[in-house]
Every structure is written in structure tokens, then in C-alpha cells.
Structure 1
Amino acid sequence: MKLKHLAQAIALIGAVGSLPAFAAETVEKIEVTGTNIKRISKEGPSPVQVIRREDIQRTGVSSTGELLRSLTANSGLSLDDNATNSFAKGTSGVSLRGLGQKATLTLVNGRRMASYGFAQNITNSFVDLNSIPVGAIERIDVLKGGASAIYGSDAIAGVINVVLRRDYQGAEVGAAYGSSEKGDGEEITINATGGYGSLSEDRFNVMGTFDYFKREPVFLRDRGLSSSSDARAYGGGDKRSTSGNPGTYYNPGGATAATDLRGTAPMPTCPPDRMVSGYCRYDFNRDVVAIPETERAGFFGRATFSVNENLSLFGEAAYSRNDTLTIAAPSPNNTGDIILRRGHPNNPYNGDVGLLYRFVEAGNRMNDITTDAYRALFGVKGNFAKFDYEAGVSYARSETEELGYNYINAMRVREVTANGSYNYLNPYSNPASLIDSLKTVTSRNGLSTMKTFDAKISGELVELPAGPLAMAAGVDYRRETANDSRDPLSAAGQIIGSGGSSAKGERNVKAAFLEFNVPLHSTLELQLAARYDKYSNIANGAETSPKVALRWQPDKTMLFRASYAEGFRAPSLQEQYLGATTSFNSGQRDPVRCPVTNDAGTDCAAQYKVISGGNLNLKPESSKSTNVGFVLEPTNNISFGMEYYRIDYKDEISSIPVVDILAKPETYGHLIHRLAPTPEDIARGLPGRIDYISREYINTASTKTRGLDFDLTLRFDLGSAGRLTFKDSATYVLSHKTRTTITSQETEDLGTHNLPRLHNSAELSWDKGDLQSTVRINTVGNFAQLKNSVPASQPNQNIASWTTVDAQVGYRVIKPLKLTFGIKNLFDRDPPLDYSDSSNYNISQHNIRGRYYYGRINYQF
């Protein structure tokens, strides 16, 4: 009989800990991430990486997103707030095991947060890490393994539990300033924390922390590698846009098309250095911001009142506001927007011609994204007999507004083109009022809410020969809503160079879990857990997630553990309720036309319109995960651990990738919609250019990934010279196989674009008295260039490995005052060239900022 059918009455999870050493056993039991049963030992059957407050301070990071994206277990399919071309600009998420942000569950103090108002990549809901003030964090627990049995359906790849400061007494303030070596990207951070009251003496504690962060932008044009989309000087290609200013004439086809224009022809005012392959090119990297201007403010407060020694009440309140301004090149027109009829003042031909054009005179496109996130929690906690209990109700809300400026109204463009009132040959001769009439302010509003109730109880049931049989049980209920809407013009697809999306849905989720910790021997324990989740808006949306684990510690110097878990992830509200969505997919190759035309701008490296939509008939995704590992600590100064993981993830919700649609026109030709062929196309036996591509969301994909995590800690007591500590964490991926459709062949993606085999982080710290110093070495392994992005003649088909070094020194001048100075990317290493990205570097894995200096001051009262 299947394990998950047996497990509905029992439960698990492995308590966890980090590698730094086994805790000395005491009679006091503690709460650890990964289990609802309190335990003595911090090390359990499942691996957890613990990032403490001191560790965070040594990194010099300015946001929670920056910190967590440095995890070695974080891989491809995630974007941070530097990704200005994403669908959720200004946000940051984590993709544990390369399974995407949607497969990583983020918690705060063990409880859920509302998802960000906009879904990443249109449908992938996630928690914006930047909404969590970094100054409020006490520690972060990263559970690297399937955890659906304890935390719920979307913990396929693991859990990130951000534990915020609590029961704090005293006050402290801090401020930091940093800037790149080139003088841009300036950052200012201010934080303050205060707390009053002792639970043991005063029977209450109230504390709060405030964070403020401001960053100035960094532009692509101010870094050598990214200064131009023409990367031929670096061995790359010329990715300058074919939609320029001046523009390029093209033959639109049809009975009235010009017969004296074959192919394309730049406008006569085009400078010679921009005339390439029949186009007047435009270098859009001169306009694009690489790291956007950002301002964030956040507050977290907690109050605890002890009614008596067995009962306490607590409440939490959090608020954050994030504001990000992204800047992109002026709007390029879509094919067909500008058709100059015969006799038009700007048409020198004997018939109708089209015009590829960029509205430089209208200014750069700018997007101002403001997010307000709220969270309130009230709970009760206590104990009776041998049992502990806790219950809480919470409300969380994430509300985002995105305003776009200098976007172009396609309907208005067609109008002024048809009546001949707009001068494309000399655009700055147009009256300002006429140019302004083309522009429109776009808007997008996202709202995500979550109301929850949860209750749990844990304790010891009976005493067995090897120790007590412990259990935990609980229930929770939540109501989720999502609403993502666009202005009418965007929703109708009438904004040039911008897609539109909308989604609105809601659901109720009910869950119950049961967990046991069974001592089989003084050195061996078995943990069993199962969780039942039921989604109100999914047919057959009820599922049980079981887990079983073993922990064997033959002596104090070694521990062995293994676990097996099944999980499922319900479709996001966006995946179900998404309306017709328009996006633009760049760098694509028309498999039919490109081999004949060899046209890099239109057929071989083009930007195509893609129309997608949601599906109410989606079923949940499912997974099976296995972890096996050990921790060795032969002495108090040496600790080494290794974990093997494997995750089989199937029924993944996806639309057929554009690259697959284009690669298999014989199979997916019905999804490729083309314009009418021109006379020249007909003469060459070619179909017309691609107009748009249809995609639909289905349970179609699967992923199998496996790899190894390594952790090493060495401590050296130098006597009067202080203490030296070396830590190294690495993730080495053994395999990452995917199947994009049910009928397609399974392919090995490891080492392909965005999926490096190796991530490594090494840290050497030397502490002596009031002096602390740290050197950190960060390595991202090499991986392949995007397929078809590199000329066959180019010998380098890989994106090289990238290693950067960070250094920090801190000194406590007097007991309450500490000064810190640090340098990130000490040797000013440029990221390696990525042929496929117009920025010339991989924004998912690398950073263009360069050497960066910062200083920080902290004062405790």
C-alpha cells in the first residue's frame, strides 16, 4: 500500500539544525524549524542551514533578498530587484534547487505571508523577500528538503523561515553608507530597535524595529561590458534593435505594397555607423537602468504579555513600503503599427511601406512601482501537563501599484500616421502637444491578501524503553485572494512595447497535520508526519503529504540521517484565473525563415508577441524527495557535513516554451500566427513573418534534480592572537533533467543557460578582542550559453565561472559603539559575457555593479 495512504494518521518531520556543531544536550527543549515537536538536540533528520544575526552582519548586505540569493542552494529561475525586465520589478525571490520561486515556501516566525501583488513570469506567486526588514531579523532557517508534511503544499523545494527579533530589551541604532567605485549606486541604510520589559520580572515585553533603505541607480551605459548592446568588441554579437530612430522602411506585403522596396531600407537620415544589414540600428543599452533606484521603509513590532507561568498572549504587527523606479529605452513600435500609405510625406516609394521606429522624442519609458505590505497577528501560547499549545489569527496584505510613463498609445499612432500629421523623418519638428498626445500613463494594480487561523498542540504521550513517544497535531485555515488588473489600453494590447495581464481569484484552504517522534533506540529515532490540505477551487484538490525520516547518532562525533517525503503544489490563483496576457519574448529564431533570410533583426534574433491565459482545470503538481546525509564532528573545532538530495517534480504547470514551439513547427505550427507573405516572401517560398505566438497553461512539464550539499567549519584558537574560523558551503548539482511536455524527450539541463553546476561560498574570519575581520569568496560555476545565441565559429560556447571576493573589518571602539568598513567585489571582477542577453551579462547569476565600498556605525544604549 502506498506510503501516503498509510500516513494519513501519522506524521513526521525531521527537526533540523545547521552544521556548526552539535549542541550540548540539556533538559531544556527548544523549537526548531522543520518540526512542531520541541526537542533537545538541534540536529535532526533533515538538513537546515541557520544564518544568525552575526552572520548577516558579516556579509554587509542591505536587504533580505540580497542575503538569501547568496545561498548556494539557490539556482536558476529566480530574479532579484536588479531584474528590471521582469514581471515583478523591484522584488526578490529564491529558487531552491533551481525549481523556481513558486516551489520555495517563505515563512516569517513559522507562519505564512501574503504573496506579492504581481506574479513573477505572469503566474508564479511568491513572497517578496525585500518586504522583510533586514534589521528585524534574528536568524534565518533554510530547510533544504521537501517539507509539505509540516508547512503545506508549496514547500516542494524547501522552506525559508525568517525568525524576527523578540523579547528584546534595550535600544540600538545603526546607519550605513555605501557607493560603487564609479560613484553611482549609492546606498543609505538606517535602522533602530528598542524594547522594554522582562517577561520573568515585569510579565511583559514590547519591542519594535525600524528600517530605512535608499539606493541610487546604476545604468548599463556606465559599465564597460554593458555599455552597448553591440558586444562585438567583447567577442559577442550586435544586438542593437532594428527599431531605431531614424527608422527603417520595410515591405508590409499586400496588394498595395511598394514594388520598389525589397526587404528593408534605413531612412536617409540614419548615421552610417548604425546602418547594419539593411536596418538603422538603435543602441538601447544607453538608456536602460541596470540597478534601479529604490527606497524602502519597514517596521516590525511585537508585544508579549505573560498571564501566568502557563499562559501568555502575543501580538505582531509589520508594515513595509517599497518604491522602485525602473528606466528602459523609448518605446519601439510593433510591426504593423506604422504603415505609410502611398503619398505619405515620409514615404518615398511607389506604394505602401511599413516603418520600424522608436519614439525617442517621447522619452525613456519609466515604471514607478510602489508596494505596501501589512501583516498583523494575535496569538495565545501556553502549556498544561506535558503538552504545549499555541493558536493564532493573522491578516496579511500586499498591495502594489505600477505606473508607467512615456508609453505610446498604438491607436493614436495609427491615427496620426493615417492622416499624415506626424513627421517621422524629422520627429523633433512635431509640436510638443502632438508628441504628448501619443503618450499615455499605464497602470497596473495588484492585491494579494491572506487571512489565517492556526492551532497546534505538542507533547509526550508515553514513555517507551528508548525514550518518550512525542507527538504534535494541528489545524489551520486560510483564505487567499489575488487581483491583478491593468488599465484598459494595456489590457486591450494597445500599448506599444508593453504587455498586459489580469487575474482575479480567491479560495479557501483547510489543513490538518499529525507528527510523531518515535525513539527506536538510545541512538536511533524515527519521525513520521503527514499533512492533509484541501483547496476549495480545485477539482480533487484534497491531498495528503507524508514524510518519514531516520536519525542515527552512534556517538557525540557523528550523525547520520535520511528522509523521504511526498508533496504537492496547488495551482496559483494566477495560473487558474489569468486573463489573456500579452508579453514579448526576445532573442528568438524563426525556424522556417531564418535559415533562408539570415536576418538577425527580424527572423534570427527577433522579439515576438506571446499571448497566454489561465486554466481553471489545472490539477496540482506533485513531488517526491529524498535526502541522505551525515555530520561529523571529531573535535569541537572541526565539523563536516554532506547531504545528498533528489527531487522528482512532475505535473508541473507550464505553457509550452516559446523556444520549443519555434523549434518544432511541425508539431506546434498551429500556435504560430503569421502575417501575410510579401511578394518577396512568395518568390522565395517563405511564409510571412511571425505576428504572435499562442501559449496555454497545462500540467505538462517535469523535473528531476539531484545533487550534493557540503558544509565545512574549522576553528583555530590562536591564543593571544585571537581566533580564526573557516567556513565553506557548496552545492554541487549532479543532474537537472527536465521534460517540457508530456510527450517530449527528457533532457539534461545541468550546465545549460542559468543552471551552473556549482555554487560555493567560503568565509575566513579572524577575531581578536574588539576587532573582527572577514573575507568571503563567492563562486558561481560556468554554464552554457543559451542555445543558438553563439555563432558556430565562436570557440567559447560557455559563460565562464565567476568568482568575487568581499572583505570586511569591524572594530568596537567602546562597548556600545562599533564601526565597520567593507568592500564588495574587492578585485572589481566584471561578470562573464552572456551572448544571449542584451545587457551582455546574466542577470540571474551575476551582477554588473563592480567594486563597492561601504561603512556602518552601530550604537547600543
Structure 2
Amino acid sequence: MDKIVLKDGVIAVAMALATSSIAIAQESNPPIEKVIITGSNIKRIDVETATPVQVLRREEIGRLGVNSVRDVIDTLTSSSSSALSDIGGSNSFAGGASSASLRNLGKQSTLVLLNSRRVAPYGLADYNEVFTNLDTLPLDAIDRIEVLRNGGSAIYGSDAVAGVINIITRSDFQGVQVRGNYEQSLKNQQFKTKTASLTGGVGDYGRDGYNVLANIEVFHRDSVIWRDVVDDINPGYGEKFSALAPGSGLKFGNRGAPSTFSYPGNLIGQGPIAGCATLNSAGLCIYDRYARFEAIPKADRVNALVSGKLKLNNDIDAYSEILYSKTKTTYIGASGTYGSTNPDAVWGDPATGDGRLFGYRFLSPASPLNTTGEPLELRYRFLDSPYASPVDSDQYRVLAGLRGTWAGKWDWDSAAGVMGSKTKMRNAGALSDSGFKAVVGDYNRTLAGDPDCEANFPGYCEYTAADPNFFNQLYKLGQTNSPEVLRQLFPEQGYDGKITQYFIDGKISGEIGKISDRAIGLAIGGEVRHEKFRITPTANLLTGDIVGNGAATADASRTTEAVFTEVNLPVTDKLELVGAARVDKFPGFKAHASPKVAARWEVTPALMLRATYEGGFRAPNLTESAQSSKFAFDNGKQDPKRCSQANALADDLRSQAEALPASDPNQALLLARADIVYQNECAKGVASIVRNNPGLKPETSRSATIGMVLEPVKGSNLSLDYWHIERKDEIGLKSTEDLLAAENDQPPGVINRAPLSQDKTFSLAEQARYGVTAGSLLSTSGQFENVARTKTSGVDLSANSRIATRIGRLDLGLNATYLLELKNFSSTLNDYGDNLAGRYGYSKTVANLTAALQTGKLINGLRLVYNSKTSLNDDYYDDLYTLDGCQQRDWSAAECRIKAYGRLDYNLSYEALQGLTLSLYVRNITNRRPPLDLRAFNADGGGVIPQSVADVQGRSVRVTAEYRFR
């Protein structure tokens, strides 16, 4: 199966589902019960409401072949790639966690609830973003997931700008259930995930007046190293990853070649250091750079939930809930490198607020390691550095409450509880600045100004190590170094984060009158919440001693209060209006009111129209407004004053290399330098120094939806909803791209560059030849501001049909989201940038089509996942990946985009014995590769990491066994 096309067919299939005239299976219905629907505080019959809510029930979740709550959220068509995943969290300030993001608005604008109440945020902030860790929520305890696909601030308060994900756990479960599953890639068996769960419940609430549920879930995922799977990378990225392959079809020069930054190292112009096991054709020592690049980190999790309810009398119930989770994610880091021509590392010193600079130096002509008599370039890899970076986290929530009825018509509910998260993140593979000076040498002692040096080696003296014993002191190149020396050079560093929240809430809802015989519903309530948040870096981060590493700190607390109300007004027997408002008071800000109005009009029994309008907000979190500081490193940035010149130089270097015979050792050197030149200026790391701002305002939003629900025949329905969200006063920073695009207009100190005399990318002659007039980019400085705005809109389409056929019941389903517009405001333009719908990372159409046929005890299911094509370019400032930019790289128009992609999955479930169910899930049954993404592969400059795990994972199989004792 080479192609899966889903364009106009999405609409056609949806209409076919909705207008099917096949006879519908008649099923007995349980007694009608009023329940709370996500997005409302008023109980009602479980039907389509004025607010669009997507519901994933336990049966549907079981057919998705997922291993975690994060996996479930990823299947939503409204979910976006801006969420954090523990898989890609090694470079995050909040590694070891996963988040949710709806509508491309970020993880802070999506509120995650468990049984309609908040879960404590993760113990570390991802820079300034505070979020719920989805990995701490037990999958097997879930009854359903309700997704409110418009804002929910009028009901739930801050953070619900893009929507709400409400996870509802099982209730009234009795008996014991054991469940286990194993998932493995058939293409590369290193990809393995195992989960097991045990669920038990006692007490029939209806008969006994109580029920207690307990669930424990264990998760394990193996680590995968790129070296073990990289041979299966899409051949479209190059026919073969070899050291010297001009004309072989490689699109990225020396990409993927063994690295000359090796162990025991190379002295360029002199030769490899003694003890090297592998040499290239140029006689240089090489290292397999894939050997410690990690594709998937090892993860171990234990999630536990205990909940219970007890009938105290006919009017009052007591309930309680305990949630506990322990997670550990262990990242493997690549060995650090040292190169005399590397750009100086720039970072910040939190103790002084100043930037710091780590200098890479040539070996002195007087060094005993140097026999050339002139400055000597060193290329080295610290293969003896520590590589494991564990992140341990504990999370909990304990609550108890009472609920009941009053006067026979008022429902009330009140609870109090405590919740929190504690996280410890450690890394031991980065250089200590003080340790380097102690065991390697002081890079600040150079021969700059030395008349003999300047006369003999013009242009090199600034970067030549003056100490002859540089790299020949306590730390020995390519030799066994003592644990004490390694601890001094690579000390343990990281963060301890802790957040604690106490809360008490209450609400009451019921009937306050009638219009004709239709009840007017009213709900009122409030809550008080106190939170403490502390993020403490290790001492060496606080003093700026870890080379190139940022530091984030926070130590603050606050108490917030809120009151809310909601009215359900049945104007006629067909028209229902809903009004809601919530007022939240945060310290330091005026009370904020979030209003909502909604309408539901049942035009006919088969057609319902609905619309909502709501105001939302997000209060500044404690890392943004309270005492905090952040010193970060912004990677992969293009320097508009130097990148085009670097591209031209890199192209010339590659042309020179291709003109040489393959046996010429200078060919490898030219190709390696081309990669370094590109990385230095077009995939650059820039230090970012940021402080908190107590004068911040809350982010605010306005969201609206209008849509319809159609049920042409019983058992089939279709919903179509247009949504629009505008968010303003967004808290953040002016992007590096925005600052650089208007560099000449920035105040002094905002953008910092090195002098041209310290240029390590271009020689003096190359500066003149390529027109280089600005020094190397070092850092940016600022504070959090209400700096941006975003607007986005689109259409959600859902269709479901349950059809009785001669061989069994057929369930069909479709969910699709079409992104009409996504625009970010630019302070440089003083206007919105380009529409990003269809641009890199933002497919216009995302769709899931499912079919499940139940024949007796056997269920066969198919699921089609589709993402439409995108271009490679980003917003208005991105000229490297436009068609013109691609042509300059010799990429074709087809390669300058990511093609549409469809993946087909298969699910089989069989009740083999009474109580025993066996399931098989095959992901990507056609074994289709994701389309080429040359931008992702190119983003690391001289890097080596393929563009996606899915590219080498291929087809995978998940087997599940579930047994229920009764």
C-alpha cells in the first residue's frame, strides 16, 4: 500500500456515516441519570450540549493501542505538537514528564483535570511553563476522557484557554481484573514497552451503600540508542552514511560520517593521539557519533489510585480519593567534545547576572603534546564523562468530600485536599568551568599581545593556550583518569523542584424556577487554593559553573480565591440558553471575571444548532511574576547577519572537497569544516538571560464556537463546529528571531556580539570575501513581558454510526480538525505574521477514521490516521526554507515540503474464555515510512539525529491479555 489519500473523502465518509439507512441494532437502555458534563456545573441528562465536548470511552481507548494517557491525548485531532514528551525532554528544564497542548496554544493553556478537579503541576517548570504531567495518571483506571474543545475559564478558572481534558476514573467496579501488555517494533526490536495493571473493587453501592476501587499500574520502556537502529533510516536522506561520499546522494555533506572529534583524539596537522583504534582515509582518529545518541530514554513508572464512596444516609454520601505516582526517566547523554575551532560557549552567571564565556583554545607551540612548533588544533571527545541523567518524580493527591441533596431538589458537593509533586533531576556529563581550569588548564591565559606570537602566527594568538601544560595536567588526553578528577571535571548538577497545593471547594446546583414546565437550573460555588512552588538548582548551576548550562530558580507562594455561577435557561422547549461567570482573585492582580454565554437550539429532533462565546484567562504563574531567574541557551538559531555568508563559505568548501580525489586527506577536513561553519552561524546556540516581572498582567482570551449536531437516523450522528480563539497579553519573551530581525532597533545590551577580531568562523580574508561585517552572536537579555498575541481558528468534524449487519455490529467513527488560521503577533512588524496553517509543524487537516466490527466474541478494527502536507518554512522571518532557500541547497520543490501522510492500524480483540480477553494491535500495518523532513534532519547543523523515531520504528505489534475474576 503505497499511498493513503484522504482529502474530500473525509467529508464523503462522514456524510455516509451520518446518512446511513441500514437498520440500527436496538439495545436496551439503562435508567436515565443526570450527570455532570465537562464544561458545566449543572447536572443534566447525558446528551449533546451547547458546548462541544469529545468523549473517549473506555472501549474506544482500548482500541487505540496506547500505553499511557499521553498516548491517548496524542490521538486527538485537536492535540498539537507543542506539548512536551518525556521522550524528547532531555534538553528540557522539566525532563521526565509529558504534557498536553490543544489548538497549538501550548501546555499552559490546556487544563487537565482528574474527576473534574485539578491535578498538581509537575515539580519543575519547563523554563516558565507550568503544566500537568500526564505520565502520572493511571491509564487502566480510566472510564472515559472528556475533552472540552473550547475555552473553559468561566467554569474552571485559569489555564483553560484552549480547552479542558477531564479524565474520569472507573466507578462502582467490583471484582478483580489483571491486565498486561507488551509492545515491540517488528522492524527494530529494541523498541519495547511493557505495562501491567491490577484493579480491584468491593461493594455494590446500590445494594451495600459503599464501593472501594483500587488500581495499580506499572510501566516500563526500554532505552534505544540510535546506533542500533540508524541503518534503517529512510534512504531518501542519503544512499549510504559513509565518511567520504561526494556524489553519493547525501543531502548534507559530511552528515552521518564518523566524527573526527574522537577518543583518544586528533591533533590536526600532527596526527591522532596514540591509542586510536579506528582511522579514516585521512589518517585521523574517528568515533561513531551514534554510539551514545539516544532515540528513546528508559522509563519506569508506578501509578496507583484508591477511591471510595460511602452512603451516610439517603441524602449524603462521603467520598475520598488517593492518587500516587512514582516515575523515573533515565536519559543517556552524548559525550561532550572539545575543538579548538569550536565557537566559544556562552551562558549566564545567576550570581552576578552577567554572561560568561568558555574559550576553546589551540595548543601552544610550547606544549609537550605539540611537535609542530606552531599553534595546533585539538579535536577530542570526553568518552570518559558520565552519561546517565536520571529524573525521579513523586506526585500525589489526597482529597475527601461530602455530597448529597438538600430539600429534594438541590445537589451539593464539597471537598478539601492536598496535592503536590516533588522532582529531582540530575546530570553529570557537562563540564565544570572551575573544574576544567583546575584539571585541564586556564583557557583565559593566552598569548594575545605577545610580539613573537603575533609576528609568527597572526590571527591565532588570541586563541592559543599560553600554558604549555594545557590538556596535560591532572586530566590526561586519551588515558585512564581517576574518579576524583572526573568528578571535578564533570560534577553532578541539576534541580530539585517541589510544589504543594491545598484546596477547599464547594458548589450547589438545582432548580430555581420554571418556564412553562421546564426547569431553570442554577449553580453557584467557590474555592480557595494555596500553593507553594520552589525550584532549587544545585550550587554549581547557581554560580554559573557548568559550561553552557542555564539555571532556573523559583521560590514563592500565594493564595487564590474564586466564586462562580451558572444559569441554564430553557427559553422554549427547543431553545436553551446558558450563562456562566467566574471571578478569580490572584495576589497582585485585580479580580478577573470570565464570562460565558451559550445557546442550544433543537431545530428538529434530528438537527441541533449550538454556539458559545467565552472569555478566558491565564494568571502569571509563580515562575513568571514572583522571584525567579532563568539563564537558558536558545539552540538552532539563524544569525541573519552571518548565516547567508556561512552558507556561501560552506558551499565553497564542499565544492573544493568534491574537486579532490577520494584519497586526498584534505577532503575530509574541508567537509568537516563546512559542517562547523554552518553550525556556528545557521544552527547557533545563543545565551538568553531572563528575569521575572512582578508587573505582568494576566493573559486573556476570547473564544467562540458555532456548530450543529445532526442525527439523520437513529444510531448515526454528525457534528460540525467552527471555533475561533484570540489570545492577547501573552506572557513570554520577544523571540530571538524577532529580535534579530530588528537588531538595529534594539536598545544596547539586548543583543550582544563578539568583536570581529574574535571571529572563529571566518578568517580575515573570508570576512572580506563574503562581506562579514558583524561579530559572532553571543546572547540576548530581557524579562518576561505581556509581549504577544495569537489568533487561531478551524473546524472540527465528528461522525459516528452504529450499524447492524448480518455478521455483527459495525461501529464507524470519524474525527477531523481543519486548521483555517494560526497567526502569531510580531512586535517587529507590529502586526500578525504569516498564516502558519499548512506551514512547518501545522498540518491543515488532521483526521482519524475508525471502523470496528463485532461478531460474537470477536472484534476486528481498523484506524486510519492522516496528516495533510506542510511546507518547510516557518513564519515571515524564515527565508532559509522557502522555495528559493531550498533551491540554494539544491533541494527540489517536492523536498521543500513534507508530504501528506496516512497510517493504518489494525486491532483484534477476542473473548477467549469467560473473563479472559486477548487483544492484538498492529500499528502501521502497511509499514509506511513518515515522509522526508529535511528541515528536521538539517536542524542540528553538524548533527546526526534522524528526524523521527517513527522512521526507524516501522510496524509494531502490541499484545494484551486481560482477565477479570468475578
TM-score by length of 2: 0.80
523 and 185 in structure 1: CA distance in 2 versus 1, 3 angstrom threshold? same
> Does 2:468 match 1:371?
no
Taking the aligned partners of 2:232 and 2:531, their CA distance within structure 1 comes to: 41
The equivalent residue for 1:253 is none
Structure 2: unaligned runs, 5 residues or longer: 1-17, 240-248, 339-343, 346-357, 443-466, 648-676
Q: Secondary structure at the match of 1:154?
A: coil
> Does 2:814 match 1:728?
yes
Taking the aligned partners of 1:285 and 1:791, their CA distance within structure 2 comes to: 27
C-alpha displacement at 1:753, in angstroms? 2.4
Taking the aligned partners of 2:173 and 2:269, their CA distance within structure 1 comes to: 67
> Does 2:731 match 1:632?
no
Partner AA of 1:451 in structure 2: Y
Q: Secondary structure at the match of 2:428?
A: strand
Partner AA of 1:107 in structure 2: L
Deviations 1:280-302 (A, max 9, x none): 99764442211211111111011
240 and 608 in structure 1: CA distance in 2 versus 1, 3 angstrom threshold? farther
Q: Which moved more, 1:174-183 or 1:316-325?
A: 174-183
217 and 497 in structure 1: CA distance in 2 versus 1, 3 angstrom threshold? farther
The equivalent residue for 2:564 is 513
Structure 1: unaligned runs, 5 residues or longer: 1-18, 251-264
> Does 2:525 match 1:474?
yes
> Does 2:261 match 1:210?
no
Q: Secondary structure at the match of 1:407?
A: coil
Say what the alpha-carbon RMSD is for the aligned residues. 3.1
Say whether the 8 Å CA contact 1:575–1:615 is kept in structure 2: yes
Q: Where in structure 2 are the equivalents of 1:478-517 lying within 5 Å?
A: 478-517=529-568
C-alpha displacement at 1:577, in angstroms? 3.7
613 and 232 in structure 1: CA distance in 2 versus 1, 3 angstrom threshold? farther
Say whether the 8 Å CA contact 1:247–1:266 is kept in structure 2: no
Aligned match for 1:269, one of 267, 272, 280: 272
The equivalent residue for 2:141 is 136
Say whether the 8 Å CA contact 2:265–2:478 is kept in structure 1: no
Say whether the 8 Å CA contact 2:184–2:957 is kept in structure 1: yes
Partner AA of 2:396 in structure 1: Y
57 and 629 in structure 1: CA distance in 2 versus 1, 3 angstrom threshold? same
Q: Secondary structure at the match of 2:919?
A: strand
The equivalent residue for 1:856 is 960
The equivalent residue for 2:615 is 566
201 and 596 in structure 1: CA distance in 2 versus 1, 3 angstrom threshold? closer
Q: Secondary structure at the match of 1:78?
A: coil
Aligned match for 2:743, one of 623, 643, 665: 665
Q: Secondary structure at the match of 1:135?
A: coil
> Does 2:606 match 1:606?
no
> Does 2:694 match 1:643?
no
Aligned match for 2:163, one of 158, 165, 173: 158
C-alpha displacement at 1:82, in angstroms? 1.7
Q: Secondary structure at the match of 1:201?
A: helix
Aligned match for 2:403, one of 381, 388, 391: 381
The equivalent residue for 1:237 is 252
Decide which structure has the larger Cα Rg and report it: 2
C-alpha displacement at 1:467, in angstroms? 1.1
Deviations 1:385-409 (A, max 9, x none): 2101000001111111112133321
Q: Which moved more, 1:572-581 or 1:467-476?
A: 572-581
Aligned match for 1:299, one of 298, 304, 307: 304
TM-score by length of 1: 0.89
C-alpha displacement at 1:227, in angstroms? 6.1
Q: Where in structure 2 are the equivalents of 1:386-785 lying within 5 Å?
A: 386-415=409-438, 416-418=440-442, 420=469, 422-423=471-472, 427-429=477-479, 431-433=481-483, 434-465=485-516, 467-536=518-587, 538-540=588-590, 542-577=591-626, 579-598=628-647, 599-668=677-746, 670-678=749-757, 680-681=763-764, 684=768, 686-719=773-806, 721-741=807-827, 744-747=830-833, 748-785=835-872
Deviations 1:29-85 (A, max 9, x none): 222111111112521101100011111111121100111111100123112222133
> Does 2:234 match 1:185?
no
Partner AA of 1:422 in structure 2: F
Partner AA of 1:718 in structure 2: T
463 and 745 in structure 1: CA distance in 2 versus 1, 3 angstrom threshold? closer
282 and 632 in structure 1: CA distance in 2 versus 1, 3 angstrom threshold? farther
Taking the aligned partners of 1:678 and 1:266, their CA distance within structure 2 comes to: 24
Say whether the 8 Å CA contact 1:532–1:544 is kept in structure 2: yes
Give the number of equivalent residue pairs. Answer: 821
Aligned match for 2:120, one of 109, 114, 123: 114
Deviations 1:107-152 (A, max 9, x none): 00000111011122x0111101111010111110000001110000
27 and 64 in structure 1: CA distance in 2 versus 1, 3 angstrom threshold? closer
243 and 783 in structure 1: CA distance in 2 versus 1, 3 angstrom threshold? farther
Partner AA of 1:589 in structure 2: Q
- Greater per-residue strand proportion: 1
Taking the aligned partners of 1:243 and 1:158, their CA distance within structure 2 comes to: 49
Say whether the 8 Å CA contact 1:466–1:521 is kept in structure 2: no
Partner AA of 1:86 in structure 2: S
Taking the aligned partners of 2:165 and 2:616, their CA distance within structure 1 comes to: 17
Taking the aligned partners of 2:555 and 2:51, their CA distance within structure 1 comes to: 37
486 and 616 in structure 1: CA distance in 2 versus 1, 3 angstrom threshold? same
Partner AA of 1:461 in structure 2: I
Q: Percent identity?
A: 30
The equivalent residue for 2:244 is none
Q: Which moved more, 1:629-638 or 1:330-339?
A: 330-339
The equivalent residue for 1:16 is none
Q: Secondary structure at the match of 1:635?
A: coil
Q: Where in structure 2 are the equivalents of 1:319-338 lying within 5 Å?
A: 319-332=324-337, 335=345, 336-338=358-360
C-alpha displacement at 1:197, in angstroms? 1.2
Taking the aligned partners of 1:275 and 1:316, their CA distance within structure 2 comes to: 66
C-alpha displacement at 1:674, in angstroms? 2.1
618 and 225 in structure 1: CA distance in 2 versus 1, 3 angstrom threshold? farther
Q: Where in structure 2 are the equivalents of 1:67-146 lying within 5 Å?
A: 67-84=72-89, 85-120=91-126, 122-146=127-151
Partner AA of 1:614 in structure 2: N
Q: Secondary structure at the match of 1:603?
A: helix
106 and 267 in structure 1: CA distance in 2 versus 1, 3 angstrom threshold? farther
Q: Secondary structure at the match of 1:666?
A: helix
Partner AA of 1:723 in structure 2: R
Say whether the 8 Å CA contact 2:310–2:319 is kept in structure 1: yes
The equivalent residue for 1:148 is 153
Taking the aligned partners of 1:228 and 1:672, their CA distance within structure 2 comes to: 40
Say whether the 8 Å CA contact 2:738–2:828 is kept in structure 1: no
764 and 604 in structure 1: CA distance in 2 versus 1, 3 angstrom threshold? same
Partner AA of 2:805 in structure 1: L
